[in-house]
Chains A and B, each alone.
Chain A
C-alpha cells in the first residue's frame, strides 16, 4: 500500500516531464493583453485620413504603434525601466520616428512601417532641452538636438553628427527651445527668467552664429511650459498672471517685439486645457472640408480615440499596465444552482416539506434543462458566424468546474477592474478619485459568493503615504458597484489590517484595522461581531514589521479592542535591513501531514500556521561582506524557529513560503551566480499533538533541512501553485526577465535529495542531488507569449483538484491554467469522443450481426 504512493509519484513525475502546450491548444485556455502605459507623446502617421498608424511614447519607456481603427498594437518596443530609458521626446516625419532617450543620452531613429531600428547614436553628456527636425523647404535632412550647454545637428539618414556648438552665456541663459523655419537657419530660444528672451540663429551649414537677438519679456518664466511655435515662425506665449497672450515673429530680421493679443475673460480656461494630453489630428476630407480625430489621455490612464461626430472609436485601459494587487473571486451561481444550494443549506423541517422542496427544485432543474436544449436547437439552425459568445455581467455564472472566475485588479492609478478570467474581457471598471500616486493598497475578500443571497463583498484599503490616513472602499466584486455600508471612521493613521475568520450574521468576515496607537477598529462592527471578538480576544494576535526601525513586534488583542505588546525582535538596522515578510496563504490546504520515508515510516511536516519568513539584507554591499538572512519566526510567540544566513550573497531576494517549506533565491557574490535555496521543516517521526496546533504549546523545535542549487538565470518573481485540496504536487512558477514563466516542479527543490543514492532514497523517488537546476523550455507555461516587465504572479485554485489558475501581471496581463500533476481528474480537452463512441457502436453492431449470423449457421447445420 505504501508503495503505491511512490509509484503514483513516479507516474506524476513522468507525466509532468512531458508537460507542454500542443500547437492546437494555443489560446484555448490562455490569453494575453498587452499594454503600453500612460502616453507622454503621441503622433499621427500622415496628414491623410487613410493612415491607420498612431505612434505613442509612454511613461513606461515604451515606443509603440497602434492601429487607429481598432486600438490594437502593431508593434511595441520596451526599453529599460527607470530614468535610463525615459523618453524625452518623440518626433515623427514620414518614415522616420526620432526619439531622445535617457535625458539626452541616446538618439534613436525608428522605421515607422515595420518598427525596426534604423540607427542609434550616443549623444554628448548634458541635460536634454529640446529637439526638432531641420529641413530646407519640405525635405527634412537633419535633426537638431538642444542640450543645456550645446546644440548639435545630426543627419537624419545615419545619425552622424554634422556639427556641435556651445551655446553662448549658457550659465545665465536657459535655452529651452529650438526651431527651424525651413530655411538655412536654426533658431535657438533661450531666456533669462523674468528678464528677456534670446534668439540665437545658427547657420545650417557650419554651425556658425549668424545673429543674436534679445527681446524684453519680464513676465516670462519658462519657454517650455508657456510658449508654443505656431505657423511659420510665430511664437505664442502666455502670461500666466495677467492671462495675456503674446506673439513674436522669430524669423524677423530686425529687432522683434512681443505683441499682446487681447483675450476674453473665459479664455484662461481654454488655455489651461491646451496643456492636458490631447492629441488632435486635423485633415482635409475628400470634399475639402476639415475633419479631425482626437486621441485623449485621461486622468484614469484610459486612452480614447474619438472621431469627428464625437464617436468613440476605441478605448485602451492603460491603467492595467501597472497592476498593484489582485484577487480572484468565484462567480455567482445561476438561479437554479442557487435554488439547489439553498435547499441543502437550510435546516430540515419535516419529511414531507423536504420531499416537496426536492421535487420542486427538480422541476426547476428540468425546466432549465429544457430551456437549454431549446436554445441549443434554436442556435443550431442559425449559421455559426451569427452566434456571439459575448460575456456580459448579466450572463455571468459559475461553470461546472469553477474554472471561470472574476479577476479583481487594483491599479496604481486608483482604477479598479473586473475582468473575466476566461476571455479577458473587462466587465466593469471603477475609478477612485483622489488616490495619491504612491498610495499603498490592500485588497481583502470579506465575503465570497458562497453565501447566497448575500452579495460578495471586497474591501480595498487605501493608505495615503504622506498623511498615513487610510480609507476603505467596499464594493461588490462581481458588478463593481460600491456597497452602501456604513464605513468605520478612521481618524488615526492605519498601520496594518488583518482578516479574522470571525463571521457576522451576514457572513462577512471581520476585518481588524490597527492604528498607530495599536488600537483596533473592527469592520463590520455589529453587536454580534463585537461579542465574538470579546470572547476570542485572548487568542487573536497580530504582528507588525517596521523595516525602518528594524523591529518585529507581536501584539495580543484585549477585550476593549486595545492591544498589548507581548514580544519584540530587534534586528539592528546598522547591520541588516528587513526586506520582506511573508506568512502562509490562509487559503492553502495541505493534504498530506507528512512524508513517507524509504523504510515506510513517516516524517511529519512542521505545519505551523503562524510561521513567518522574514528576509533581511545586509547594509554592507561589499561582495565579501554582504549577506542575506532568512529568519523563521513564530508570529504568536516571537520565537525564532530557525535562522539561516547566506554569506557572500545579496538580493534582490524572491521567496515563497508555503506548507512546511521556504524557497528563496539570491545572488551569490562570490561565485557570481543566482542560487536557489530551500528550507524544509519537519517535526520528526512523532507528532507532538495531532489534533490541535497551538504556538504556545510547542516545546520542541523542528528539524530543519536545507539545500542549495545553482539557477542559470536571474528571476523577477516567484509563486507556488495552489489547488483546492492540496493533493496535487506543487510547482513553483518562476518569472524570468525574458518574460517567460517557468513551471519548476517542487520535487527538484527538495533538501532530502541524496548525494549518494541508496535503496531508501530510490524507494522514496528522490532525485539524486545535482547542483545545477535545469531550465527546460517545455516547462515554460506561456510558450512564446512573453510577459514584459513581469511584476507578480497570482495563483488561485479551481474547482478541479488538478487545475490551478495563474495570472501573471506586469506590463502585460497573461492568464492560463496549469496542471502540475497533469489532468488526472478530467478527460483531456482533445479526448477523441467521436472515435471512442464510433468504436463502441461498431463493436456493438458487430456483436449483434455476428450473433445473428451464428444463429443462422447453427440452424443450417441442424438441418443438414
Chain B
C-alpha cells in the first residue's frame, strides 16, 4: 500500500511544506505592512476600497474568515463583521415599516446613528461589502441597483427581474401606477398587476386608492420623510432577539 504513495503525492507534500514556509514569510510581510499602514486602512475609506479591489483581483477574500491573516493583523475583519451586526439590527427594527426594503442612504444614516459619536465613520462602500458577506447566512440579504443608488433587501422574499425593474421605475417619485408601468415598460396590465400585488403582499408597497387619477403604489423604502425618524424602543426590541 505504501508503495502506491506515488510521486504525485510526494510532490504535493513538498509543495505543502513550501507553502507552509512561504505562509510564514507572508505573515511577516503582512505584519510589517500592518505596523506601517493599519491606521491608513482604518481611517481612509478610499484606501480600504483599493485594498479590497486588489484582493479581489488576485483571488483573495480578506473577509472570508475572522481567523484569516488579513483579519487578524489588519483588523479589517472585526470592522466589517461588527458592521454586519449593526446592519442586521437596523433592518430588523425597520422591517415592519418597509417590508424589508431600505435605501442604502437610509440604512447608512440609521447605522451611523446607532454607532454613536465616538465610533469610526463608515462609508456606503463599507456597508455594501458587509452586506455581501451577510448573504451566506441565508437571510435573504440582497442588493438591488435603483436610480443612482441601491435598495437593500433583508428578507427572504423572492424578487425577480420584473420586481426589480418596477422598483427602479418607482424610485423616481417613490410610487408607481399601473399606467406608468405599461407605458414605460410596455407590459400588459396583468403582468404589471401581478408584480404590484406581490410587492403589496410582501409589505414592500402600500396602496393608495384615494389618489386622483388611478391607484398609486407607494414604496415606504423610498419615502424621504421617514428618513430621519428615529427607531422607536419597540422597534429596537424587535432587532435584538
Q: A and B from one assembly?
A: no
What is B's interface to A at a CB cutoff of 8 Å? none
What is A's interface to B at a CB cutoff of 8 Å? none
